[in-house]
Structure 1
């Protein structure tokens, strides 16, 4: 596969003498010269230019689609430097090809068309470079969490309370279905509105014994991960865990209720009113602050591993909060980065960091990559993997990034967004550049979440800035 280095890259940022012409549906907006650089001082601008010049692309540098016989469904392949196949049936499991052929995969059954891979295992390398399983028994981890109830951090509900609040877990109260199980809307006896996540109960009559055991182990692991993470984290941009219920048959988690649903709902549901660019950027900034807290202020740091638009929830005031810590891992310190290893890449198809799979090296920069995909969703309105005009699956990276690198981000902008103001256009270009930086193949070259937050703050400042010249409408009328 031929690889071309981008020899030059015109960054769509705010320059001292900046003219940007963008064509939108039913509107063409001319941005007049602006003598104030709202976004980047010259030194920072040159640094970002140099960084993106090192971005390596090929015709299929991010993703390509193939027919994978072993995985049965159309799969997506990462192809930065080696091919990685994502199993179409498993959705969250990556299968490494053998023999240099994408259709031959390890861990996937050709005959049964299902994947035997597991996604929740984790470990470290010992002194002899041998992987050592560090995962304590779930029972031990659960018993260590019991003290949280005694200290008032979490409430241990009874199953009777939760069943009463949901009318026996009636479908009428369902909000949705996630990887952990079904989510219900409920009103507790004290009047609080909450969201209840109940682990999926597998029917032995319809599933094999091995599948039941694996599914239960995955749910148990996600349940304990969520308890361990959320019980010690407290930030306004993280969904708050209120309590839980646990016994041999049931696993239930109780959260604060998020009245406006998920970011994915508002980006991809045509029945909902489209978000303005300002609101999209505010949501992105809220979520980035939540992730930065996980990386920089939690002790030990937490790597989420499943950042995506459906895990960014919105409360009644449109404050965004990061949710779903079922796949989260306690992160390494800077000194431990070289040895921190995840045996199986986990996450959601379309958001998984290719370097994480290729090197099996889990760091905070994997979350940065996933957040870059979310930024592309905010810009384009497209899902991480969506159908193009020819009804073929396409990754949002393949669609949006080329326009950003060609200084034509307006061509990829979500057409449902109301026509942006001149300052919003400046902000759109800035966020597009930031998204590409988050997606750079080499994790070390990606910004930290602190840098992402800083850049989003600048983008929002540009979006909200008062005009320094005559209003655009009066200039256009002249």
Structure 2
């Protein structure tokens, strides 16, 4: 059993590492509390951080009936999100150097005002000594448990494996906590803290209750995602990546964008998870255009130029996002080994059909072939084609992707409204005629 919260094992020796995922079991409910832990906060430092938070660039949820352009929307306006990291119930803020440090012993002093200290005993308490009944997943990183903190916050507790043969997990662990402690965004999984003491490595993050996007595309939860929801999810992910690429002090490349790393809330809002492969983007001020690094990621989503040159840029995330767009509209996985050869690589197959003028044939058969769906499908595939350009300079930025998707959603909603009005008018005329 795997979990969307786990970093799964991915060998990088062949540069085409992949991670498998099977359906998770229903989440176990727990009513746990932690002991009271004191926190300290420097009011001057807090005020400075709050002011700095104004420039965080976080997006707000989209207005479902808005017809504004993306550039003018509230989703591209910043907000201040710095807050007390209090265990007594206040919302925990995350920004540069604002991660919550979970240490095993109280003798380890907090280095930042407001940092909450947890003990290993508290982790044992909230997970009931890592009880199997609270376990919600298992992956290459380790096991994941669901727990509830004293303030009622439901969290996912990720406990890393202790195998001496999993040395790469230490690197992924450091990468994830360093990234999570620097970012805060509506469409990124929230970070509550971490523990690293002797052979224990634990990350505490937001619990997102509605499973992964891949599970919903597979209809594991019993219902079919309509195109409206899929488009909203694509926009949520584009906002998260735009934030990572543009709106933090040192931009971040996620490196593992895929449907199984996108968690959904009860309202089907998307949250990007799993930052084990994240890397800091090249510093544009220094003239750097890329980061030279070993290839990591998931087969089917990997940027071919990155595979060939070992040069990583933000456009590698854009390529993966293009694959995700195809996945959203087709419902297929990026690689389908059971299909005939010409259909095994989903993005390649879909792009050929689209270029040949047969876009409708790639639409997920569980979706209706309405005029609104068909038009939106063609526009989404057009954007995907740009994202999947072999050369990175020909791919759009994530901000541009978000702008295009915003327009597609606006037009899609207008067409749906017009279709519903025409349908209503026709029904009313028919009823009137029958009465006469």
**TM-score, structure 2 normalization:** 0.69
CA distance in 2, matches of 1:353, 1:268: 24
Comparing 392-401 with 226-235, greater Cα deviation is found at: 392-401
Q: Which residue of 1 aligns with 2:275?
A: 325
How many residues get paired? Answer: 332
Distance 1:154 1:453, change over 3 A: farther
Distance 1:293 1:342, change over 3 A: same
| 1:429 counterpart (372, 378, 386) | 378
CA distance in 2, matches of 1:436, 1:341: 25
Distance 1:389 1:234, change over 3 A: closer
Residue 401 of structure 2 is aligned to residue 455 of structure 1 = no
Contact 1:153 1:231 in 2 (8 A): no
1:63-212 matches, within 5 Å, as 91-93=10-12, 95=14, 150-151=111-112, 155-202=116-163, 212=164
TM-superposed CA distance for 1:393, in Å, is 8.7
Distance 1:179 1:459, change over 3 A: farther
Contact 2:316 2:392 in 1 (8 A): yes
CA distance in 1, matches of 2:177, 2:421: 54
CA distance in 2, matches of 1:325, 1:236: 16
1:294-333 matches, within 5 Å, as 294-333=244-283
Q: Which residue of 2 aligns with 1:467?
A: 418
Contact 1:92 1:349 in 2 (8 A): no
Contact 2:293 2:312 in 1 (8 A): no
1:218-229 matches, within 5 Å, as 218-229=168-179
Structure with the larger strand share: 1
1:350-389 matches, within 5 Å, as 350-389=300-339
| 1:248 counterpart (198, 217, 223) | 198
Contact 1:424 1:462 in 2 (8 A): no
CA distance in 1, matches of 2:335, 2:321: 15
Alpha-carbon displacement from aligned partner over 1:414-464 (angstroms, at most 9, x marks no partner): 1122x2542232211111111111101000100000000001101111221
Q: Which residue of 2 aligns with 1:284?
A: 234
Q: Which residue of 2 aligns with 1:37?
A: none
Contact 1:384 1:395 in 2 (8 A): yes
Distance 1:474 1:403, change over 3 A: farther
CA distance in 1, matches of 2:296, 2:333: 19
SS of match in other structure, 1:471: helix
**TM-score, structure 1 normalization:** 0.64
Residue 191 of structure 2 is aligned to residue 230 of structure 1 = no
TM-superposed CA distance for 1:180, in Å, is 2.1
SS of match in other structure, 1:254: strand
Q: Which residue of 2 aligns with 1:444?
A: 393
CA distance in 2, matches of 1:301, 1:437: 22
SS of match in other structure, 1:279: helix
Unpaired runs of 5+ residues, structure 2, are: 1-8, 17-96, 102-107, 431-436
Contact 1:274 1:416 in 2 (8 A): yes
CA distance in 2, matches of 1:437, 1:309: 19
